[in-house]
Amino acid sequence: MSDTAATATATAPLQIGPHVLDVPVVLAPMAGVTNAVFRDLCRGYGAGLYVSEMIAARGLVERQEKTLKLARFGPGEQPRSIQLYGTNPVVMRDAARQLVDELGAEHIDLNFGCPVRKVTRHGGGSALPWRRTLFADVVAGAVDGARDVPVTVKLRMGIDDDHLTYLDAGPIAAAQGAAAVALHARTAEQAYSGRADWSAIARLKEAVTDVPVLGNGDIWVAADALRMVDETG
C-alpha cells in the first residue's frame, strides 16, 4: 500500500454500530489510566472514541461503590463508552443492561485482553477465549443486555504461542453480534514486552470480514498508526 493510500485508509471514517467516527482513532481502555478526567483531556486531541478503564461486571451489578465510581461519565461525554470484563454470561448481560438503562452507555467494549494474573487466574481477560463456548456465551450475553447499543471486543493473540485463540475468537465474536473486534497483537505471556506482531492483525482482518477490525500495540506516534494500516491493510 502506498503512503497516500495508507493515509486515506487511516483517516476514513470508522463506523461502530450507529456511531460514525470521523476520526478513526480509539483511545484504548487502560486500567488505572482512562478515567473520566483523562478521557476529557484526550478529547482535546481529536480521537473519535474514548473507552473507560476496565469495569468488573459483577461489581457493577452488585453496586459496589468503587465500581460505580469508575463507571461515571464526564459532562458532555459523547459517545459514552465503557469497558466491561467478566466470565459469567448472565452477569455480563445484566451489567450491560444496567450500563445502558441507568448510565446511558452508548458503546460497550468487552475485555478479553487483560494479561494480569489476578484476572486470568479466574479465567477472565485474555484467558477466556480459550474456552470457546463460554467466550461465545459471554459475548452473546452482553449483546443481549445492551440491546441496540453496539458491543465490541478486545482480544490478545492468545495465552502464549502454543495457545493462540484470536483467529477463532474474532469470528465467534462477530457471529454473536459484536460490532467490531480489536486485537492487541501480543500474547498474554508477553504482557507488554517484546514487539507487537502486526501481521496477526492482518490475519485477523482476513478472518473477520463483516465488522471492522482494529489494531493495537506499539503505536506511539501518528506515523506508527499509518505504518500499521500500511502493513495490515
Q: Annotated active-site positions, please? A: 114
Nearest 5°: phi and psi at 81?
A: -120, 135
Phi-psi region of 191 (alpha: psi -120 to 50; beta: other; left: phi over 0): left
Q: 136: helix, coil or strand?
A: helix
Q: Peptide bond before 79: cis, by omega within 30 degrees of 0? A: yes
User: In the structure grid, which three cell numbers stand for residue 21, read together?
Assistant: 467516527
User: In the structure grid, which three cell numbers stand for residue 177, read together?
Assistant: 453480534
User: In the structure grid, which three cell numbers stand for residue 25, read together?
Assistant: 482513532
Residues 6+ apart with CB under 8 A from 130: 158, 159, 163, 165
Nearest 5°: phi and psi at 226?
A: -65, -40
